[in-house]
Structure 1
Amino acid sequence: MHLVSRLLLLLAGLLVPSHGHLLPEPSSPGHPAHQEAPSIGEGSPSLKIVQGNTAFALRLYHLVASQSPGNNIFFSPLSISSSYAMLSLGARSHSQTQILEGLGFNLTEVSESDIHQGFQNLWHTLHLPRDGLEMHAGSALFLSQELQILPGFLNDSVAFYESKPFLADFHDSAGTTQLINDHVKEETQGKIVDLVSDLSADIAMVLVNYIYFKALWEKPFALSLTTPQDFYVDENTVVKVPMMRQDTEDHWYLHDRYLPCSVLRMDYKGNAMAFFILPNRGKMKQVEEVLTPEMLTRWNSLLQKRYFYRKLELHFPKFSISGSYKLDQILPELGFVDVFSQQADLSGITEEQKLQVSKSFHKAILEVDEAGTQAAAATGTFTAFLSTRHSRRVLWFNRPFLVVIFSTDTQSVLFLGKVVNPTTP
């Protein structure tokens, strides 16, 4: 009977090593840790994983929405996907297959090698310097100093996922907890704190994945036009929010002729954009039901047509929301079964002890203001509207709406959520 050691997965937000022993980055002749500038055009390796990543993002959204009706939702599907794809490097047999298929990949169409090379190219692309957009993403492995990690796993995790390996003393629970939390806090620029608490003595490895995103609007809002306005959370709840306004700008937007919603495309500086999807009164559930990769593709295609670029009087809330999720309780519903049980085969990480994932946390924060958006992720309804103005040229985001934040050059969903009550942090 093997002694089972626990592996803790956390999803987080920015990158600077703090205290602790940072291991030298291993290198492999087959997988050099430092690559030349990535290709981002047609044929880019990252495009091979877009379909799977988007499918996973929306499957996870629907599951979270069904479990938390009436609540704000916000998470980074890309942060979660890359963390578990990295974990699959050390998984074997059914455990590996369940992880990769759970992440939305059809293994008869995309190979394991394609998946890891796709993530490698994707993260290199996202790290390219851009004016007006700040994005930091990466992974960190906190390893028990008593654990012998197989070189192949270390080499590949560094090469494909730029993972930073640290040695830690898990017998010193307080010290290791502070080490991990300090790292996450720094990497998310102080947005996510105290992600880890009460590390148990049988933890052998902690995997942290983080993404921090700060972007400026191509068309910022004027501070002087922000005023308190009503936001209709549901039929019985109205809250006051600072409502931003633009009334002289052209925007990409449409009123869907087949679905009860409007879709606004807002561009950021630096190759990123957001879709804000505003269901008609009482139609959130109906719109959520058709929120599919195909629908996102359809809206994206339509919102590149000049016809949908028109002058708009836009009213949009200034807000901050967050989402915290226990992925070890959620992901088994999406097929991740073995990895959270004693059936886990993570023998590609270490052969000396049997590992399984004990806990997996994800936390994400979204802030929207006149200048733009800040979002950090860490691993950790009816409407009663509204306005009497029904002009096709006026759009009031004063009831629950959906948000999708994209990287345009990688075609990847960075963040996904639902704003039900913008006054709830």
Structure 2
Amino acid sequence: MVHKIKMGFMFIVTCLGFLAPVHQARLHSTTISDLSFRNMKFAMNLYKQISNYHDKNIFFSPLSISTSFAALLMASDGDTYKEILKGLNLEQLERADKPELIPTLFQLLHENITQNGSLELDQSMALFMRQQFEVEKLFKDQLQTFFEADIKSVDFADTKGSISFINEFIKNKTRDKVTEMISTLDAETHLMLINTIFFQGTWQKPFNPNFTQNAPFYIDNYNIVQVPMMFLEDKFYFMNDVPLGAKVLKLPYQEGVSMLILLPNAGVDYTVVDDGITSRKFLSWIKMLHKTKLEVHMPKFKMEESYSLQNILPGMGMNSIFSNAANLTKLTKKEGLKVSEVLHKAVIEVDEIGTTAAAATAIGITPYSLPRTFTVNRPFFFFIYHEATNCLLFMGRVIDPTKN
């Protein structure tokens, strides 16, 4: 089964910034784990902010968003800097004598996750600047040093041409999975930061397409939809969170990445489980997983979700960056700059067909020892994470798998 995730992330900033210092000596891996944990806390906080807006499907990449805001963090100063630092849950990682620490950690985390190219997780960042707009050379150098960012000159006055140019960049970076990232653009825009992330994973144990058949999915007590339900019987890592009223299943991809599915028990409202999702809970699920024989029934689904984060992040204390009080003096000496728009778009496809699925043989089914079933036929949550660092790459909530 291939799981294709692509996501584009965009900053329209009347100015946008990023500090980056010289790459220092390698940091201890526990510090990278600490960054992963804090990024996970940021993810859970952001998820709760998004879920407050609606009861629909949710999907986003906390790693992509936090990486982009690390750029803003390094461009900012004063209250703006403090608000972003707090919003990202990175206050305890800040070292006044080591301004390069946080961007270096993000760089090392990315290197650790991609394992020097063996894992297909492509992140990219680009800074689109208004022509003749002066950005501090140090800022540009640091952006390229830590994030290998592209810096491009754009005539924002030509809104139609700029929209086409930027959308084409995102489309190429996400292998045609994120298209039409932006549809409108303010001609007064000075700087825009785009961050994209692309993940394609192949299940270690692919689902056999011959076993996929339509089955009911219960959105709630009154709404039922038919979905293509995949099937696989094997030994899986599983745990039962009795206090939360939910079960957890791990579906590993190749190259050290896994999807964790959190399925509320039958009769348990997903909103109750929703409130219990925390970073510490997530880590406890991973630790408590044990191998057991299961029949897994899981729907195929596709999701494409977009968020205007400038409407969401103020709820996490990030206010001044979007107002006239924004302090982005580490980016440029020009005054009166703020972030006017932050768009995040994520796309995911989960199915049974992968690069190795066609060559895989079905596991023989033993007629005895009847396995337990794990049937994902009601709203559920999922998390895609890098196992070595516990870094949360993507997270989502599926209320209706037929809604793309």
TM-score normalised to structure 1 length: 0.83
Counterpart residue type for residue 241 of structure 1: V
- Pair 51,110 (structure 1): closer, same or farther in 2 beyond 3 Å: farther
1:94 maps onto 2:79 in alignment: yes
- Listed one character per residue, the Cα deviations across residues 377-407 of structure 1 (whole Å, up to 9, x for unaligned) are xxxxxxxxxxxxxx87111100000001101
**Contact in 2 for aligned 1:140/1:165 (Cα 8 Å):** yes
2:108 aligned with 1:121: yes
Name 1:105's counterpart in structure 2: 90
Letter in 2 for 1:31: V
Compute the displacement of 1:109 (Å): 6.4
Tell me the distance in 1 between the aligned counterparts of 2:188 and 2:344.
21
Mapping of 1:404-419 within 5 angstroms? Answer: 404-419=383-398
Please state if 1:317 is matched with 2:320. no
Whether contact under 8 Å (1:93, 1:345) holds in the other structure is yes
- Report whether the alignment pairs 1:84 with 2:69: yes
**Are the counterparts in 2 of residues 244 and 318 from structure 1 also a CA contact under 8 Å?**
yes
Q: Distance in 2 between matches of 1:48 and 1:263?
A: 24
- What amino acid sits opposite 1:148 in the alignment? E
User: Paired residue for 1:265, among 250, 254, 257?
Assistant: 250
* 1:208 and 2:194 matched: yes
Tell me which residue corresponds to 1:142: 128
Shift of 1:349: 1.0
Structure 1 alignment gaps of length 5 or more? 1-10, 15-26, 374-390
**Which of 148, 151, 154 lines up with 1:165 in the alignment?**
151
Equivalent position of 2:47 in the other structure: 61
| CA–CA distance in structure 1, aligned partners of residues 312 and 354 of structure 2 | 31
Counterpart contact for 1:274–1:403, Cα < 8 Å: yes
Q: Could you state the TM-score of these two structures normalised by the residue count of structure 2? A: 0.87
Match of 1:328 among 300, 310, 329: 310
Quote the Cα distance in structure 2 between the aligned partners of 1:122 and 1:424: 33
Q: Within 1, Cα distance between the matches of 2:101 and 2:37?
A: 13
Deviations 1:290-340 (A, max 9, x none): 11111011001111xxxx201111100111012111100000000110000
The alpha carbon displacement at 1:372 in A equals 5.6
**Aligned twin of 2:376:** 397
The question of whether the paired residues in 1 share the 8 Å contact of 2:94 and 2:102 is answered with no
| 1:321-380 deviation line (CA, Å, top 9, x unaligned) | 12111100000000110000000011111113421001111111111011469xxxxxxx
Amino acid at match of 1:399: R
SS in 2 for 1:294: helix
Q: 1:372 to 1:288 in 2, by over 3 A?
A: farther
User: For the Cα contact (< 8 Å) 1:90–1:347, is it kept in 2?
Assistant: yes
Aligned to 1:386: none
Contact 1:228 1:241 (C-alpha < 8 Å) held by counterparts: yes
CA distance in 2, matches of 1:353, 1:174: 27
Distance in 2 (alpha carbons) for counterparts of 1:107 and 1:44: 14
2:340 counterpart residue number? 358
Distance, in Å, in 2 between the alignment partners of 1:57 and 1:372 is 28
User: What is the DSSP-based 3-state SS (H/G/I as helix, E as strand, rest coil) of the residue aligned with 2:180?
Assistant: coil
Q: CA deviation at 1:139?
A: 0.6
Q: Deviations over 1:113-156 (max 9, x none)?
A: 3321110111222333565x421102100011121000121121
Identity of aligned residues (%): 33
More moved, 104-113 vs 146-155: 104-113
Structure 2 counterpart of 1:31, from 18, 22, 27:
22
Question: What is the CA–CA distance in structure 1 between the aligned matches of 2:9 and 2:343, rounded to whole Å?
Answer: 13
What CA RMSD, in Å, does the superposition of the two structures yield over aligned residues? Answer: 2.3
- What residue is the counterpart of 1:370 in the other structure? 352
Structure-2 change in CA distance of 1:109 and 1:139 (3 Å)? closer
Q: Give the superposition deviation at 1:51.
A: 2.3
* Alignment size in residue pairs: 373
Contact 2:127 2:192 in 1 (8 A): yes
Alignment of 1:181-220 (within 5 A): 181-220=167-206
Matched residue, 1:293: 279
Residue 294 of structure 2 aligns with an amino acid whose one-letter code is L
CA–CA distance in 2 between the matches of 1:180 and 1:45? 35
2:9 and 2:340 map into 1 onto residues whose CA distance is 21
Instruction: Find the residue that maps to 1:355 and give its secondary structure.
Output: coil
